[in-house]
A and B are shown apart, each in its own frame.
Chain A
Amino acid sequence: MAKVAPELLKKLRTGGNAQVQLIVRTTDDPEQYVALLEERGIKVQRRFRLTRRLAIQGPAAACLSLVNEPWVEVLEEDQPVHTWAG
């Protein structure tokens, strides 16, 4: 999986202050990056334990800065899910 999908990269580059919801996979314990994220105006919404991930929300421009962070392994959009009943 690419670190960031091209569509998401474009969204972050053009999004400015628009809020985006992302899931970030880190190279090691994600807890140590929570303060750093919050300093950039990015809110940590959920911390996960089964995998090294955080659910975050923040301005697109601020989230774009995460792309170049070496501790960010994968950045993906938090996607909608729904039931499969007809």
Chain B
Amino acid sequence: MNAEKITTGLAQTMAAASSEETIPIIVKYRTGVVAAQKLVPGVSPAFRYKLVPAVAMRVKPADIQTLSEDDSVVRIWQDLPVHTCLHESLPLIGVPAVWAAGVRGRGVKIGIVDTGIDPDHPDFAGRIVSGANFVRDGSSYRDDNGHGTHVAGIAAGDGSVLGGKYRGVAPEASLYVAKVLDAGGSGMMSGVMAGIEWAVEQGVQVINLSLGGPAPCDGTDALSETCDAAVAAGVVVCVAAGNLGPKAKTVGSPGCARQVITLGASDKLDDIASFSSRGPTSDGRTKPDLVFPGVDIVAPRARGTTMGYPLDDYYTTASGTSMATPHATGAVALLLQTDPTLTPTQVKDLLMQTAKDLGFEANTQGAGRADVHQAYLLASAPPPPEEPGEPEPPQPPGEPEGCWQAIKRALRMGG
């Protein structure tokens, strides 16, 4: 073995691995990559790079030793997971700038309708107000899957385990948790509907639904109509579009509901995740409404669960429109703290009006990738004149009404 070609981290992994265990590696060659298949019989490269003469593959420790002895091989690294930590995804959408204004979701009630939550995770300490189980009525709402805890952490974890490193979007919001999905992450529409009704009765202001069912749909199914009824009751409902992309017409119920905010997933480079479901709905409406980051997101891990790719006892990495959706839910909480009088329609319009156009078609990106800071600025702009029919005050020459004020006025009047 030529140890000089093997990175220290890979050498440590090899030492700890069994002889039959395969290790993901990246091999860099002097020129070309043809020799790779000759050197490791039976192993096909997982990826061949074009900009550098390298391949990615999974091989046994003995194969790495063999590779290191080949003159054409320059270097061998362990292929490591990459993450879009919350401390990366949140700056991308402008959340820290909103925190800097003192807005962190305080006083806003978020409903997490999912697999439950780990009530002992330090990132939620003192902020889980209530919970209920609709998988087995009367049972605990403790998360036995891990998905709900991850979702809740993105929306409202305070990141206290690591000094705020993995802080969620609205770290001071209150949480109301309906367990509607079982340990396998599955449930029935009727259970989700019951969870939504419970959350509405608890007085939540925004509900997160990182779940879905059959696609395509037209928004007239029972679950979609329940979501629209929740919106009509004054609750913002954020729904995952689904992970059935990139084909068209893959938004599942209740993502096809008319009044909800339907979320697709983008990555930290502002590309759309290939898995993110695309519209239109089966009755021809554009969906999703927006995209938020949803690729390789690090957030709280429920004790005893293995959902995603665990980093340690407290955090795990996962991807999906499930992860994009709680970014939106947290953003809604920030906007509602800013202006509690906003209606669900106004909240949706604020986020859509201020989104960054990523250049994809509407049924892929919706209005674009959300910019929470811009939405906050618009929400915190001075209110429009109260009395209807009152003539607009004349604008001083050379001082036209600010853009945000004009848009906000239009939104308030239309909403």
Contact = CB atoms under 8 A, between A and B. Distances in A.
A55 B226 CA distance: 13
Interface residues of A, number: 23
Interface in B340-384: none
A23 interface: yes
Interface string B214-257: 10001011110110011001000000111100000000010000
A83 B188 contact: no
Interface in A11-57: 21, 23, 25, 45-46, 48-51, 53, 55
B147 interface: yes
B190 interface: yes
A1 B210 contact: no
A80 B150 CA distance: 21
B221 A76 contact: yes
Given A48-B194, A82-B181, 15 more contacts: A1-B220, A48-B197, A50-B230, A53-B226, A79-B213, A79-B214, A79-B223, A80-B186, A81-B189, A81-B192, A83-B186, A84-B240, A84-B325, A85-B308, A86-B243
Interface stretch (B73-81, B123-131, B163-171, B316-324): B316-324
Interface of B: 114-115, 145, 147, 150, 181, 185-194, 196-197, 200, 210-214, 218, 220-223, 225-226, 229-230, 233, 240-243, 253, 275, 307-308, 318-323, 325
B210 A83 contact: yes
B212 A84 contact: yes
Contacts, number: 114
Interface of A: 1, 21, 23, 25, 45-46, 48-51, 53, 55, 74, 76, 78-86
A85 B193 CA distance: 20
